[in-house]
């Protein structure tokens, strides 16, 4: 196989860790030390003059902090350097307009994580079909769930290897996210058909060829009843807490149970999104989606004191439904999966796609009678059908008329999309 037919791909793989209680305590200590290191670095950055905010001075400050503060010693030196690198990247993202300025990290409101920047420290081995072993600095050899073939042992090389990892703790326990670099065969152009995709709330994904992808509730009736029970118990226990009083351990355990159920629902939603987007990317060669500005769509309708908003409660419920469907994450998955299978993804302008009749092309006020039914008010047409499928056909029509944009395809798309993925993702 020639070198031109190969493409380098970087992606993440997340696996569940099986930590013993003592190992979990060590991982917790490292995560809290990393968060403290971030906060100390941010305080140093805010107090230093602009001329002295350099990489060398920041590195010297970190080394001195590790000598002066004992509990920071549980954090490996490479992980401390990764905190510095992440902090500087956060400022770069702020200066480029991609994110807000970095701030202090709270104990209970931020992701608990530790970075392992060097892949050679991991020393990964596969024990048997379901489990593998990985070395975590200053924690030891721990087991992780083996659900994907990783480039280790004789399968590893200069182009196929694990470049690093990150330990992440959520409501369901500790996980490890591997950063994998692989050299794979360049996919042949996908010969599948073209399809337009409309995202919605009542119907998550509607395709222009009439296909519909829907899902049920992410929690069972028993789990929803249990979630309601714990939420009511947390509300009752909050009533007995005085202003400024620390959260009790009992209330904290209740919050952990609530977070566990919500994390379970999120994992089921991610599983549905991955399976659905993979099937679409394998079936169709050209995908066309709407170029939605989701941040503007989910803005609050509360308004101001002088000019209060209307239908605030209804708009809040719609915003929650949009967030729950995670349209942006769906488009991100479709982007990199389509590129992996040799297809292309295009974005069409969103205005007018839900009001235009896909049969006659007229845009008449009141065409869309409800959320699910579309009836053309043009007396010469009168076509009626599903509103979501009608919007998907309009999206595909804009692409065929040359009004859609195509993002940069290929390796850059795959690499950028994989970084955004919750692992990522993230």
Read off the pLDDT of residues 303-328 as tens digits, 9 standing for 90 and up. 665 667 676 777 777 778 778 888 88
In a domain, 302, yes or no: yes
Provide the 8-state DSSP code for 186: P
Of 357, 354, 356, 365, the residue nearest 382 (C-alpha): 357
Last residue of a domain, one of 170, 186, 202: 186
pLDDT score of 413 more than 60: no
Q: With contact defined as beta carbons under 8 Å apart, do 10 and 421 qualify?
A: no
Assess whether 172 and 202 both reside in one domain.
no
Assess whether 163 and 56 both reside in one domain.
yes
Assess whether 170 and 198 both reside in one domain.
no
What pLDDT score does 245 carry? Answer: 81
Q: With contact defined as beta carbons under 8 Å apart, do 152 and 144 qualify?
A: no
Selection from 181-185, 295-299, 358-362 with the highest mean pLDDT = 181-185
What pLDDT score does 420 carry? Answer: 36
Q: How many CA atoms lie within 13 A of 367 on its CB side?
A: 27
Average model confidence (pLDDT) across the chain: 83
> Which 3 state secondary structure label does DSSP give 131?
strand
In a domain, 70, yes or no: yes
Higher-confidence residue: 24 or 320? 24
In a domain, 94, yes or no: yes
Assess whether 109 and 200 both reside in one domain.
no
- Using alpha carbons only, what angle is made at residue 135 by residues 132 and 140, rounded to the nearest 5 degrees? 115
pLDDT score of 390 more than 60: yes
Higher-confidence residue: 317 or 196? 196
Print the domain residue range for 30: 1-186
| SS3 of the chain: helix, strand, coil, percent, to 5 | 45, 20, 35
In a domain, 323, yes or no: yes
In a domain, 304, yes or no: yes
Angle between the 249-283 and 221-239 helix axes, to the nearest 10 degrees?
140
For residue 421, what pLDDT band results from cuts at 50, 70 and 90? very low
Assess whether 181 and 209 both reside in one domain.
no
H or E element that contains 375: strand 373-375
What pLDDT score does 371 carry? Answer: 65
Assess whether 47 and 152 both reside in one domain.
yes
For residue 389, what pLDDT band results from cuts at 50, 70 and 90? confident
For residue 370, what pLDDT band results from cuts at 50, 70 and 90? low
Q: How many independent structural domains does the chain possess?
A: 2
Residue 398 has a CB neighbour count (10 Å cut-off) of: 22
pLDDT score of 416 more than 60: no
In a domain, 132, yes or no: yes
Selection from 58-67, 150-159, 406-415 with the highest mean pLDDT = 58-67
Strands 161-170 and 173-185: what pairing?
antiparallel
What pLDDT score does 306 carry? Answer: 64
From 106-115, 259-268, 318-327, 328-337, the region with the lowest mean pLDDT:
318-327
Assess whether 209 and 159 both reside in one domain.
no
pTM, two decimals, is 0.80
- In sequence order, the β-bridge partners of residue 16 are 175
pLDDT one-digit tens code per residue, 91-112: 999 998 888 889 998 887 788 8
Q: With contact defined as beta carbons under 8 Å apart, do 347 and 286 qualify?
A: no
For residue 28, what pLDDT band results from cuts at 50, 70 and 90? very high
């Amino acid at each position: 196989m020639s070198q031109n037919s190969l493409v380098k791909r970087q992606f993440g793989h997340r696996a569940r860790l099986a930590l013993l209680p003592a190992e979990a305590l060590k991982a917790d200590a490292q995560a809290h030390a990393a968060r403290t290191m971030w906060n100390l670095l941010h305080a140093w950055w805010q107090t230093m003059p602009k001329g002295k905010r350099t990489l060398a001075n920041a590195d010297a400050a970190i080394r001195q902090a590790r000598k002066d503060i004992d509990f920071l010693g549980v954090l490996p030196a490479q992980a401390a350097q990764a905190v510095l690198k992440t902090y500087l990247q956060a400022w770069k993202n702020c200066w480029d307009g991609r994110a807000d300025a970095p701030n202090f990290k709270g104990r209970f409101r931020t992701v608990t994580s530790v970075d392992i920047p060097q892949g050679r420290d991991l020393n990964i081995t596969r024990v048997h079909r379901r489990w593998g072993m990985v070395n975590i600095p200053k924690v030891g050899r721990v087991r992780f769930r083996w659900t994907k073939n990783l480039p280790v042992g004789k399968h590893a090389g200069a182009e196929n290897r694990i470049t690093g990892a990150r330990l992440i703790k959520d409501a369901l326990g500790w996980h490890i996210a591997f950063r994998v670099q692989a050299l794979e065969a360049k996919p042949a152009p996908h010969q599948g058909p073209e399809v337009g995709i409309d995202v919605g709330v009542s119907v998550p994904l509607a395709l222009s060829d009439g296909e519909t992808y829907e899902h049920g509730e992410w929690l069972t009736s028993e789990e929803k009843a249990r979630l309601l029970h714990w939420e009511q118990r947390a509300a009752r226990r909050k009533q007995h807490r005085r202003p400024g009083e620390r959260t009790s351990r009992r209330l904290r355990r209740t919050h952990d149970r609530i977070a566990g159920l919500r994390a379970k629902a999120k994992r089921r939603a991610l599983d549905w999104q991955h399976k659905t987007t993979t099937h679409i990317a394998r079936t169709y060669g050209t995908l066309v989606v709407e170029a939605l500005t989701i941040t503007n769509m989910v803005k609050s309708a509360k308004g101001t004191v002088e000019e209060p908003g209307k239908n605030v409660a209804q708009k809040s419920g719609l915003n929650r439904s949009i967030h729950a469907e995670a349209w942006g994450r769906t488009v991100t998955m479709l982007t990199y999966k389509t590129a992996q299978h040799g297809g292309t993804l295009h974005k069409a302008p969103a205005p007018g796609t839900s009001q235009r009749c896909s049969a006659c092309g007229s845009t008449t006020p009141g065409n869309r009678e409800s959320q699910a039914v579309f009836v053309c008010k043009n007396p010469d047409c009168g076509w009626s059908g599903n509103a979501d499928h009608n919007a998907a056909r309009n999206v595909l029509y804009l692409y065929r008329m040359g009004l859609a944009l195509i993002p940069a395809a290929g390796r850059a798309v795959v690499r950028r999309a994989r970084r955004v993925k919750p692992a990522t993702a993230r």
